[in-house]
């Protein structure tokens, strides 16, 4: 993991839509290089608007966004897209070529690669994402899960420093989520910075170290996931529910089972329950 160094700085930004809807209000945020972060909250909290300011798709009404120390206002969307790759909730909005291979080629065409380098990158990503036998298939003949996988591949092949996802696990089965996690952890090993907008509280609780809660265009909380998502008051304000494993822990405590406070993850709870039962059986 790369040492802490601010790569994204959001300084008191507002965003007001043309119909006068306030989507963001005085939002400030610092993200370090190499971090994995979840942004959570109810629909309309401002999450998607916030991530769209990162690569210039929308410009703040007030305030500034800095990426790698430079103000986004001085950069075009094309320039920012070389640094920040965004995968939106509906992958079909990002796919429009006649084949999977052409989709990848289009993603790479504005980067400074030779034809040979582009083909090598395409072949590597087709292999990594298990798309080799489908290279000539139309993206529009893919399942929802495969389309999300292809949208991810088109961004990964560009090798941006920052990856941003809008609801990456929505509509994904367990196998697809596992593949997604493997890709993400591989990118983290390279020192990439990853931001995910998600409603999947169980996924965030198990896999993401830092969580930002939003409501009504403002940040409610920002900190370690196990602290933020177990705060009943904050979670209710964000119109979410406590993670199931935390609810289970609270239930065990109510019936007199002393579960250590440091147990947050499913695997740790399973280990605790197994040991607890072994002790109970041994003491009979």
All domains in the chain, ordered by first residue: 1-75+198-240 (3.40.50.300), 243-284 (no CATH)
pLDDT value for 206:
95
CB contact burial 210-238 (16+ within 10 A = b; e otherwise)? bbbbbbbbebbbbeebbebbbbeebbebb
At 1 the pLDDT is 41
What 245-248 contacts at long range (C-beta under 8 Å, 24+ apart), as own/partner pairs, is 245/202, 245/205, 245/269, 246/205
* pLDDT at site 4: 64
What angle (nearest 5°) sits at the alpha carbon of residue 231, between those of residues 229 and 233?
120
Check residue 2 and give its pLDDT: 44
Contacts of 29 (CB under 8 A, 6+ apart): 8, 9, 10, 212, 219, 222
Pick out the chain residues at pLDDT < 70: 1-4
Distances from the Cα of 180 to the Cα of 77, 171, 176, angstroms: 26, 13, 6
pTM, rounded to two decimals: 0.90
The pLDDT value recorded for residue 89 is 84
pLDDT in tens, 25-38: 999 999 999 999 99
């Amino acid at each position: 993991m790369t040492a802490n160094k601010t790569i994204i700085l959001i300084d008191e930004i507002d965003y007001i839509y043309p119909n006068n809807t306030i989507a963001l209000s005085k939002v400030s945020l610092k993200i370090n290089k190499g971090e994995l972060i979840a942004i959570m909250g109810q629909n309309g909290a401002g999450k998607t608007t916030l991530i769209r300011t990162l690569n210039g798709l929308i410009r703040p009404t007030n305030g500034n966004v800095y990426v790698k120390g430079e103000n986004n206002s001085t950069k075009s969307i094309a320039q920012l897209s070389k640094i920040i790759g965004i995968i939106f909730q509906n992958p079909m909005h990002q796919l429009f070529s006649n084949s999977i291979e052409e989709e990848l080629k289009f993603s790479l065409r504005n980067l400074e690669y030779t034809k040979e380098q582009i083909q090598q990158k395409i072949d590597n990503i087709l292999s990594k994402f298990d798309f080799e036998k489908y290279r000539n298939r139309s993206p529009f003949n893919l399942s929802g899960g495969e389309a999300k996988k292809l949208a991810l591949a088109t961004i990964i092949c560009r090798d941006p420093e920052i990856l941003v996802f809008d609801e990456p696990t929505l509509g994904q089965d367990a196998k697809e989520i596992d593949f997604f996690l493997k890709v993400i952890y591989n990118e983290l090993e390279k020192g990439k910075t990853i931001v995910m907008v998600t409603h999947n509280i169980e996924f965030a609780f198990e896999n993401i170290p830092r969580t930002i809660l939003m409501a009504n265009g403002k940040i409610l909380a920002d900190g370690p996931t196990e602290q933020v998502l177990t705060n009943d008051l904050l979670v209710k304000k964000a119109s979410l529910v406590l993670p199931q494993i935390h609810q289970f822990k609270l239930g065990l405590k109510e019936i007199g089972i002393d579960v250590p406070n440091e147990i947050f993850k499913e695997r740790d709870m399973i280990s605790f329950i197994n040991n607890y039962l072994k002790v109970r059986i041994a003491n009979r």
